[in-house]
Structure 1
Amino acid sequence: MTTNCALSSDLVDNTAPVGGAAPRGVAQKSSARVDEAGVGGTGGSTGAAVSGADDSDRLARAGLSRVVEPGDLAALKAFEGLEALQIWELLQQGAPGTERWTTRLAEAEPERDLERAAAAGARFVIPGDDEWPEQVEVLADAGQLTRRAGVPFGLWVRGPANLRQVLTRSVAMVGARASSSYGEHVAAELASGLSDNGITVVSGGAFGIDAAAHRGALAGSGVTVAVLACGVDVSYPKQNSALFSRIVEEGLVVSELPPGCSPTKLRFLARNRLIAAGTLGTVVIEAAVRSGALNSAGWAEQCGRAVLAVPGPITSRMSEGSHLLVRERDAVLVTNVADIVEAISPLGTRLTPYPQAPKSPTDDLHHDLRRTLDAVPVLNPVPATRIAGTAGLDLETTQQCLETLADLTLIQHEDTGWRLPPTP
């Protein structure tokens, strides 16, 4: 069987990978029944196949997630204002203007996808479910980037956590795949700190900064969410299989693509909008001027979310994008976890005080004392008369200042005059 999308090597059959995004204007409220096995439920369940008239909306959305590419602008235009079930029926009827989806429609089996998800310990969450993260619906009005846009028809979710709950207080961390040791260290440290403060770390499961952020969050006391550009039962990249297994044990793996789907370049770009829309802010760590991380930052801007960037060496091309965000797009400069917490918290909230310069014993000296101290030599002691001349003060004032400075142990008196104490 030949289709217009790449087949996943992880599949045990020839199911074609496809994707889906709800057009702007598609009704987001579902009347579907959540079955006892937990499909679309509150999280922590394995899920099960859904059937029956009461679940027609869920089946339609599952089918659309396989037929329509994520964020497809053509679908946004063709199905403007229609509900998911109406779109599904139009496609099945072969209505004029739906020809581009005919090939995938012939291969779509939503019941089978739901069964396959259940077998993988996953579930399909749709609008109206308790677990549905309503914040992603901001995508209906967020415009488009790289010809991707729109609210997903639903989200395939794998893992024990509740998607809505863990995204309520969450931050996205994105960056270069070809990251430096500096970038990976910073990503892991920030993610661990956020996790310890009850903030969910969301990333894309890729090499480099993504993987470092996930590992850092797992090392902390919270959970992490990986939003994939493939099915939740597909490990991509394969080298991160062990990492995905750890994430699924405590957090979540999420995708708008049904089981078995392979990643493509456009799917990564479409995935970025979910990462940005589902979180309170996006932190960029090591990103070139042209990069997927800046695409995520662009989506965060269009969704009205906070955009933050970690600075890097000025000699590093991998940090040029981060510096661009700070210099030209008003991104928040991040130097520690507190900077991130402040950016996503109510106005005036800060985890720790701003860094302060070390306090010096001379900071509170009045003007005459400072002038006198500046006139005292480091090595060879000199008399008060000479210090008075250097300081530009009368002798009586100078003598009083010298005695005060001596009481503060800032100077010392010897047989021939005054000098600064030796350096320890």
Structure 2
Amino acid sequence: MSGSDEVTRRAWAYLSRVAEPPHTALREFVEAEGPVDAAAAIRSRNVPAGYAGLSSATQARARVDRGAEDLEAAAAIGARLVTPDDDDEWPGWQLWGLRAADTVERGGPPLALWVRGTRCLADEVRAGIGVVGARGSTSYGEHVTGQLVGGVVEHGWSVISGGAFGIDGTAHRAALGSGGSTIAVMACGIDVDYPASHTALFTAIARDGLIVTEYPPGTTAARHRFLTRNRLVAALATAVVVVEAGRRSGAANTAAWARKLGRPLGAVPGPVTSAMSVGCNRMIADEQAALITDAASLISLAAPDGAGGPNGGPVRKVDALSGDRSRVYEAIPGSGALAVEELVLRAGIDSGRVLAALAMLEVDGFIVAAGEGWSLNRG
């Protein structure tokens, strides 16, 4: 690694700790200034006034730079920091939908991700199914989880969950036991095993899958971090299934994030006498989730007609576009360019929204300016 690369990597590590994630203003500042300049400005308390709340959010940690130490601590356990600069590994299209959740509490994309394991994060989540459920799972829920996971792994899917007791742990073990890959998304530092009794499980996941978190080394687990973590489970997954969930639970929160992000959501029905199935039964009854009874129905939910599955070819980055960005992108012809006025007519939305969508599409490389108009980026 060159000296400049090392400086940039340390800047990313510093930024990953300087504010409690996710923080929209911090991400926007880094995107605008670059990690090195952004880190220098925050460290010297010289943040422009235009980034709402960033000065106060970074005040407590601004002068504590543990970037080098954090990178060393991660490397000691076979972990690394993955950032948007890492084009081959950053799961950009999966995380794209979180940009629309910037205004939601605990919403927004992560600034960077700490990853433990040798596999490529982008490859592993490209065909990943989220399997979540109650910590106080029943024997019924654990049996169904094993059956579902065994079936999807057999068809090449990876399994994404939260590393917790109950259904999460069962899903990870079933994936490993079936010879598949699994990803544990954590609510603590990459070097922290929580719960501690899952240390052996986490070691196995790191060997045959991946452990992922947006929290730097040494960060302890906390209730608000579990709720923050849930959005990543939903975002990284192609589809999410809830096996067991009480009336109010973390699994129900993950399900809510799946709906917000437009991920297909399924739920396993359970006995009407079981408190651990109340949440699932209600989701199905309210038509918030599809009824899932076996691996075939779960695979069909995740990849209708096989599209986008492990054997269906790569998912295009444009598939992650939504809202105005999707409408404006689709309005641009395959060849040639269109002016804003023409795009307003084609997309059917006002010029202000078209201009905002064009700006974001250009920043992310989907389109390029062509004279007085806009065309698709074929580079």
TM-score of the pair, normalised by structure 1: 0.66
In structure 2, the residue matched to 1:392 is none
In structure 2, the residue matched to 1:131 is 89
Cα distance change, pair 242–348 in 1 and its aligned pair in 2 (3 A): closer
The structure whose Rg is larger is 1
Aligned partners of 1:63 and 1:108 also within 8 Å: yes
Alignment match of 1:142 (pick from 91, 95, 101):
101
In structure 2, the residue matched to 1:104 is 61
Alignment match of 1:118 (pick from 67, 75, 84):
75
Q: Give SS of 1:104's match.
A: coil
- Please state if 1:332 is matched with 2:290: yes
User: Which structure carries more helix by proportion?
Assistant: 2
Counterpart CA distance in 2 for 1:172 and 1:144 is 24
Aligned partners of 1:269 and 1:292 also within 8 Å: yes
Alignment match of 2:219 (pick from 261, 266, 272):
261
What's the offset of the Cα at 1:88? 2.0
In structure 2, the residue matched to 1:299 is 257
Deviation readout 1:83-141 (Å, 9 max, x if unpaired): 54443233112136513422222323111111111111111111131111111132112
Alignment match of 1:285 (pick from 243, 257, 273):
243
In structure 2, the residue matched to 1:178 is 136
Cα distance change, pair 83–252 in 1 and its aligned pair in 2 (3 A): same
What's the offset of the Cα at 1:321? 1.1
In structure 2, the residue matched to 1:371 is none
- Please state if 1:273 is matched with 2:231: yes
Aligned partners of 1:70 and 1:152 also within 8 Å: yes
Q: Pick which of 101-110 and 114-123 moved more.
A: 101-110
Cα distance change, pair 105–249 in 1 and its aligned pair in 2 (3 A): same
What's the offset of the Cα at 1:203? 0.4
Aligned partners of 1:125 and 1:132 also within 8 Å: yes
Aligned partners of 1:143 and 1:302 also within 8 Å: no
Counterpart CA distance in 1 for 2:118 and 2:12 is 22
Q: What amino acid is aligned across from residue 270 of structure 2 in structure 1?
A: G
Aligned partners of 2:27 and 2:111 also within 8 Å: no
In structure 2, the residue matched to 1:58 is 9
Aligned partners of 2:19 and 2:57 also within 8 Å: no
Sequence identity of aligned pairs in percent? 44
Counterpart CA distance in 1 for 2:72 and 2:29 is 30
What's the offset of the Cα at 1:253? 0.8
Cα distance change, pair 185–100 in 1 and its aligned pair in 2 (3 A): same
What's the offset of the Cα at 1:316? 1.5
Q: Give SS of 2:14's match.
A: helix
Long gaps (5+) in structure 2: 48-52, 310-379
Aligned partners of 1:310 and 1:335 also within 8 Å: yes
Counterpart CA distance in 2 for 1:160 and 1:198 is 18
In structure 1, the residue matched to 2:189 is 231
Q: Pick which of 198-207 and 94-103 moved more.
A: 94-103
Q: What amino acid is aligned across from residue 101 of structure 1 in structure 2?
A: T
Q: How many residue pairs end up in the alignment?
A: 300
Counterpart CA distance in 2 for 1:111 and 1:88 is 13
- Please state if 1:87 is matched with 2:38: yes
In structure 2, the residue matched to 1:198 is 156
Runs of 4+, deviation exceeding 6 Å: 76-80
What's the offset of the Cα at 1:270? 0.9
What's the offset of the Cα at 1:279? 0.9
Counterpart CA distance in 2 for 1:329 and 1:346 is 18
Q: What amino acid is aligned across from residue 99 of structure 1 in structure 2?
A: S
- Please state if 1:342 is matched with 2:300: yes
Q: Give SS of 2:61's match.
A: helix
In structure 2, the residue matched to 1:245 is 203
Counterpart CA distance in 2 for 1:151 and 1:82 is 18
Aligned partners of 2:116 and 2:210 also within 8 Å: yes
